[in-house]
Amino acid sequence: MLPNDPFPSSEFDDWAETFDNSVSIDRFPFIGYQDVISKIISLAKPRPGLSVLDLGTGTCNLAMRFAALGCDLWCTDFSALMLEKARHKLPNAHFVLNDLRGDYPSELNRPFDRIVSAYVFHHFMLDEKVRIVRSLVLERLAPGGRLVIGDIAFPDAAEQEKVKIDTGDEWEDEYYWLADETVQVLESLGFNVEYTQVSLCAGIFCIIGLPPD
């Protein structure tokens, strides 16, 4: 656990038992959840044998889709109880208890063909999001690979405010992505970024890694 962490792993341990039910209810922040999962798969362009690193796998709803397509799954989460649920669903995957904001264990110090994540990064401020993304692309994404992040996101601040008003009491203030500012920052670092809005409160960022030598 990081010091003064506003999102401690214990909160997610407590959520593990009911997580799948939470994401099945089509209301904020999980409006269009299954559409987001499906679009991540589509943008990642998986095929049998590819190595896939799923960051913040939760109960492995995203990872299961890649496994069904013959990918080699490496799944991380900082909640031990989430990983326990995930192992029951996907016993043949590799699971690592790890906080993606900190140091990575040795078994993850390798290139992956695809790095994916669903509904995780909105817990981090923009500078932390960018730091993690940059590190992933430069240090863990194989040449020609893809980093695909689906999360609570809005095209811009005005659209976020509109959804906030419409959502009313169900709204919670967290560090949601604003696509316009995020794409600008990532492109300034030299990354090839595509953004797709999937629902009124969720979108997907796809970054294509450097081409092979």
State percent of the chain over pLDDT 70.
Answer: 96
- Residue 113 sits at φ, ψ, to 5 deg, of -70, -35
CA–CA distance, 134 with 144 (Å, rounded to integer): 15
Helix/strand/coil percentages in the chain, nearest 5 = 40, 25, 35
Paired with 177 in beta bridges are 153
* Torsion (CA) 135, 76, 2, 9 in degrees, nearest 10: 150
Find tokens 């889709």 and name the residue: 65
Residues 150-174, mean pLDDT to the nearest whole number: 97
DSSP strands (E only) in 23-140 = 51-55, 72-77, 94-97, 112-118
Is the model's pLDDT at 108 over the cut of 80?
yes
| CATH number, span 9-18+28-208 | 3.40.50.150
Average pLDDT, the chain: 94
Q: What is the pLDDT of residue 122?
A: 96
CA distances from 69 to 62, 106, 187 (A): 12, 26, 31
Residues with Cβ within 8 Å of 139's Cβ and at least 6 positions away in sequence, in order, are none
Q: What is the pLDDT of residue 8?
A: 79
Q: What is the pLDDT of residue 3?
A: 57
Model pLDDT for residues 65-93, shown as the tens digit of each residue: 999 999 999 999 999 999 999 999 999 99
| Residue 209 vs residue 65, higher pLDDT | 65
Name the range with the highest mean pLDDT among 22-26, 101-105, 158-162.
Answer: 158-162
Q: Hey, what are 131's tokens?
A: 């730091």
Residues 207-212, mean pLDDT to the nearest whole number: 77
Is the model's pLDDT at 188 over the cut of 70?
yes
Residues 142-165, mean pLDDT to the nearest whole number: 97
Is the model's pLDDT at 56 over the cut of 60?
yes
Closest Cα to residue 65, out of 98, 43, 83, 32?
43
| Residue 211 vs residue 74, higher pLDDT | 74
Domain ranges, ordered by start, for the chain: 9-18+28-208
Residues with Cβ within 8 Å of 138's Cβ and at least 6 positions away in sequence, in order, are none
- Global confidence as pTM: 0.95
